[in-house]
């Protein structure tokens, strides 16, 4: 594997860097720097700018509207987005359900769903996890009963990210309760405005409304919204999860996070010297950077496989494990570096008596929120314990 970028790749990097600098919305940048909560319109603003340029879906084949980039160009693009601190393109449509529709969907489903997903006209959510079926996803109990030309769906999903904004959702449902767990599941596309769909918020430790529970009560879903074959949804689910786990690794975003961490640790502490001067903290920083470099090379090997026409395999589990562990360690070190200023919800009263003024240096803003938010990364997309089992069986043959 050649790790040197070609002259064409370096020119491509310059093109991407220039485009981001000239096109990223200043108002969106201002909201990010102020630590304001971002809404649906904020995420879609950047999505639509990239879609107009033809860059919203780097991994899509050209036949479906992708840019036709090489794996290396996609890697460079992800790095530049991360270095520039842009809002992430939400993966549920572009990187999760779209590849499933491309691989298993009917021609009608491809024509109906892929163009608006690419353009940002459909916001997707994922209906996989249930209160009793998280890590053991095949234990799901949400059922769909065929009634003529519709399925009648009843059940509950949980931890459904940003479902409060979703137009459509892709759901795993049980269509044959008598079959073995994996063999009786189907993959359905559900309009979130359908009567019987109820979205209720779950407020996380950082005080954010990011995830939800979704109730489905006698929801009537047209049979034409079944992807692939009835009772073959587990095939779609495994295919989707491999793509999701590869994306969770977040190498480029972690590199930017470490740069921010270094900036925090370079600030003078209350004792008058930067934390980076502490050999114990510097050692932890060095270990983190070495692990991230090793993960980056692992991701590049995966990209080389894709360049040979091979999709993500069991190695996506390795990327998921190490990527999420690195993300968590980085946020832990950021809290350590920020010290007492990392205390969550540290506020002071304004002139009206409202507790709205943040105390402490700007670099500490959001450190605690990021720490809390990153606790979930080792769980979603299949917990890291499950990923170790996959590696043991599929890679090591144990």
Q: Which residues are catalytic?
A: 244
Q: At CA 115, angle to CA 79 and CA 63, rounded to 5?
A: 75
Q: Cβ distance 178 to 226 under 8 Å? A: no
CA 265 to chain CA mean position, Å: 27
- The neighbouring-strand residues paired with 199 are 214
How far apart are alpha carbons 265 and 390 in whole angstroms?
A: 37
Q: Cβ distance 158 to 146 under 8 Å? A: no
Sort 223 into a burial class: Cβ within 10 Å, 0-12 / 13-18 / 19+.
middle
What is the biggest distance separating any 2 CA atoms in the chain, rounded to whole angstroms?
Answer: 74
Percentages (nearest 5) of helix, strand, coil residues in the chain = 55, 15, 30
From the list 213, 111, 224, 127, the residue with the least C-alpha distance to 168 is 127
Identify the three-state secondary structure at position 270: coil
Strands 209-222 and 168-174, how do they pair?
Answer: unpaired
CA 181 to chain CA mean position, Å: 27
Contacts 24+ apart (CB under 8 A), 14-21: 16/76, 16/77, 16/80, 17/80, 17/84, 19/53, 19/55, 20/80, 20/81, 20/84, 20/86, 21/84
From the list 218, 202, 221, the residue with the least C-alpha distance to 163 is 202
Task: Tell me the angle at which helices 71-84 and 7-23 cross, rounded to the nearest 10 degrees.
Answer: 40
Q: Alpha helices, DSSP H only, in 308-359?
A: 315-338
């Amino acid at each position: 594997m050649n790790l040197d970028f070609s002259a064409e790749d370096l020119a491509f990097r310059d093109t991407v860097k220039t485009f981001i600098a000239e096109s990223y919305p200043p108002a969106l940048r201002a909201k990010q720097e102020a630590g304001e909560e971002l809404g649906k319109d904020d995420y879609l603003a950047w999505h639509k700018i990239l879609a107009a340029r033809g860059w919203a879906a780097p991994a899509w084949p050209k036949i479906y509207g992708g840019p036709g980039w090489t794996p290396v160009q996609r890697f460079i693009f992800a790095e530049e987005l991360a270095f520039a601190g842009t809002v992430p393109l939400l993966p549920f449509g572009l990187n999760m359900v779209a590849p499933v529709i491309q691989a298993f969907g009917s021609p009608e489903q491809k024509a109906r769903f892929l163009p608006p997903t690419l353009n940002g006209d459909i916001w997707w959510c994922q209906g996989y996890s249930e209160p009793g079926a998280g890590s053991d996803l095949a234990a799901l109990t949400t059922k769909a009963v065929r009634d003529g030309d519709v399925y009648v769906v009843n059940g509950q999903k949980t931890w459904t990210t940003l479902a409060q904004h979703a137009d459509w959702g892709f759901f795993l449902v049980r269509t044959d309760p008598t079959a073995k767990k994996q063999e009786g599941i189907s993959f359905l596309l559900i309009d979130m405005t359908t009567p019987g769909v109820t979205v209720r918020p779950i407020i996380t430790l950082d005080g954010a409304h990011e995830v939800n529970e979704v109730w489905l009560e006698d929801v009537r879903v047209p049979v034409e919204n079944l992807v692939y074959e009835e009772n073959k949804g587990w095939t779609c689910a495994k295919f989707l999860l491999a793509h999701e786990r590869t994306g969770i690794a977040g190498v480029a975003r972690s590199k930017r996070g470490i740069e921010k961490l270094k900036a925090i640790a370079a600030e003078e502490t209350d004792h008058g010297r930067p934390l980076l001067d502490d050999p114990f903290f510097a050692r932890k920083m060095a270990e983190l950077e070495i692990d991230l470099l090793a993960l980056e090379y692992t991701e590049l090997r995966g990209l080389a496989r894709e360049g040979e026409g091979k999709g993500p395999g069991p190695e996506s589990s390795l990327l998921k494990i190490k990527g999420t562990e690195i993300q968590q360690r980085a946020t832990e070190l950021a809290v350590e570096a920020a010290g007492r200023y990392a205390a969550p919800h540290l506020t002071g009263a304004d002139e009206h008596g409202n507790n709205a003024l943040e105390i402490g240096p700007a670099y500490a803003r959001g450190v605690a929120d990021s720490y809390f938010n990153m606790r979930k990364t080792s769980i979603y997309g299949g917990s890291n314990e499950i990923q170790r089992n996959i590696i043991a069986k599929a890679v090591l043959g144990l």
